[in-house]
């Protein structure tokens, strides 16, 4: 995780196009300026960042299912629940699955677990837009490489 | 037709917290009921799920933007209901 760059996903563990599911992992850093204010003496991951990490996991799922032809943009967060705190240094596993792909939008369900225990979950809605420019497309390609996006998983589907 | 409208009206009422009795077949989802594009995604999801179809929102939006169609053709509820009936019939014919 690089919180200062909003890079909340470290690696894609599994992308299952057939089941429309993805599993990703991220290591919460032990130190971050965020924890200096959230909170002194009791550092924990802000809930909004947990939601963003579920959105990013879902985004990789949708990019895969759409073969990078559309960019998912977070539009709505529903029934978000932070069931337990996530602390610095913990490894989080996020699973996201497709609920519905409509025309120009999609819904996912995502769950964050630490050591197998559910810490947060939400239903997320995305609009699916054409990549607005080549810079963004190129950037997403570079991030895909960083997180180990399995291009072979979508190559022959 | 009427049952499709009734289902759509119920979906809109429940999704957008609009009194059911204010929703008529002549209501324009955007102009009369004040439903914005984000709320309409919730409605589209509920309609897709209820009728087992995929409302072609992108195609409709493109047609409106290109001046090939008016919003009334797709977003006045009696017309939306007719489009849904067409999509359901087309799905049944293709099955």
Tell me if A26 sits within 8 A of A10, measured CB to CB. yes
How much is the pLDDT for B4?
Answer: 96
What was the pLDDT predicted at B11? 97
Q: What is the pLDDT of residue A142?
A: 95
pLDDT level of residue A157 (50, 70, 90 thresholds): low
pLDDT tens-digit readout, A55-106:
999 999 999 999 999 999 999 999 999 999 999 999 999 999 999 999 999 9
Task: Return the percentage of chain B with pLDDT > 90, whole number.
Answer: 91
Alpha-carbon span B75 to A113, nearest angstrom: 42
The first and second tokens of residue A111, run together, are 């769950």
Average the pLDDT over A7-14 and give the result. 97
* pLDDT for the residue numbered B94: 74
Residue closest to A5 by CA, chosen among A143, A148, A151, A144? A143
| Rounded Cα distance, A48 and A46, in Å | 5
Whether pLDDT at B75 is above 90: yes
- Distance separating alpha carbons of residues B1 and B81, to the nearest angstrom: 7
Q: How does residue B1 score in pLDDT terms, banded at 50, 70 and 90?
A: very low
Three-state SS letters, A120-155: EEEEEEEEEECCCCHHHHHHHHHHHHHCCCCCHHHH
Task: Write the pLDDT tens digit of every residue in A102-150.
Answer: 999 999 999 999 999 999 999 999 999 999 999 999 999 999 999 999 9
Rounded Cα gap, residues A111 and A120, in angstroms: 6
Residue A63: is it exposed, middle or buried by C-beta count within 10 angstroms (0-12/13-18/19+)?
A: buried
Please return the burial class of A26, using the count of CB atoms within 10 Å of its CB with bins 0-12, 13-18 and 19+.
buried
**Euclidean distance between CA atoms A88 and A98, whole angstroms:** 29
Inter-chain contact B41–A103, Cβ cutoff 8 Å? no
Nearest to A57 by CA among A23, A89, A32, A86: A23
Residues of A in contact with B59 (CB under 8 A): 103
Question: Among the listed ranges A3-7, A142-146, B18-22, B67-71, which one has the minimum average pLDDT value?
Answer: A3-7
Stretch B42-61: mean pLDDT:
96
Mean pLDDT over A4-20 rounds to 96
Structure tokens at A68: 């990078």
Tokens, residue B28: 């324009």
Task: Quote the ipTM score.
Answer: 0.89
Q: Is pLDDT larger for residue A153 or for residue A41?
A: A41
Q: Is A151 a catalytic residue?
A: no
- Asked if residues A60 and A147 have their Cβ atoms less than 8 Å apart, the reply is yes
Distance from CA of A147 to the nearest CA of B (A): 30
pLDDT surpassing 60 at residue B69: yes
- Do the Cβ atoms of B53 and B59 come closer than 8 Å? no
- Chain A: give the shortest CA distance to residue B2, in Å: 25
User: Which among A7, A38, A100, A151 is annotated as catalytic?
Assistant: A38
Indicate the average pLDDT of chain B: 94
pLDDT band at A35 (very low <50, low <70, confident <90, very high): very high
* Length of chain A counted residue by residue: 157
């Amino acid at each position: 995780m690089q919180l200062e760059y909003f890079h909340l996903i470290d690696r894609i563990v599994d992308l299952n196009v057939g089941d429309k599911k993805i599993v990703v992992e991220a290591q919460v850093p032990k130190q971050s300026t965020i924890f200096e204010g959230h909170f002194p003496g009791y550092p924990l991951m802000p809930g909004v960042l947990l939601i963003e990490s579920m959105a990013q996991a879902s985004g990789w799922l949708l990019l895969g299912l759409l073969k990078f032809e559309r960019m998912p943009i977070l539009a709505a967060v529903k029934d978000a629940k932070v069931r337990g705190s996530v602390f610095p240094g913990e490894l989080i596993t996020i699973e996201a699955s497709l609920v519905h792909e409509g025309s120009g939008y999609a819904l996912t369900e995502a769950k964050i677990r630490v050591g197998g225990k559910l810490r947060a979950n939400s239903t997320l809605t995305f609009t699916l837009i054409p990549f607005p420019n080549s810079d963004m497309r190129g950037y997403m390609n570079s991030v895909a490489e960083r997180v180990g996006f399995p291009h072979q998983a979508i190559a022959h589907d | 037709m009427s049952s499709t409208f009734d289902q759509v009206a119920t979906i809109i009422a429940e999704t957008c917290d609009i009194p059911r009795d204010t929703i008529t077949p002549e209501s324009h989802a955007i102009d009369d009921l004040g439903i914005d594009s984000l709320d309409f995604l919730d409605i589209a999801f509920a309609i897709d799920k209820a009728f087992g179809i995929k409302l072609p929102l992108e195609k409709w939006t493109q047609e409106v933007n290109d001046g090939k169609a008016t919003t009334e053709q797709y977003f006045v509820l009696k017309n939306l209901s007719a489009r849904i009936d067409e999509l359901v019939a087309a799905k049944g014919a293709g099955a």
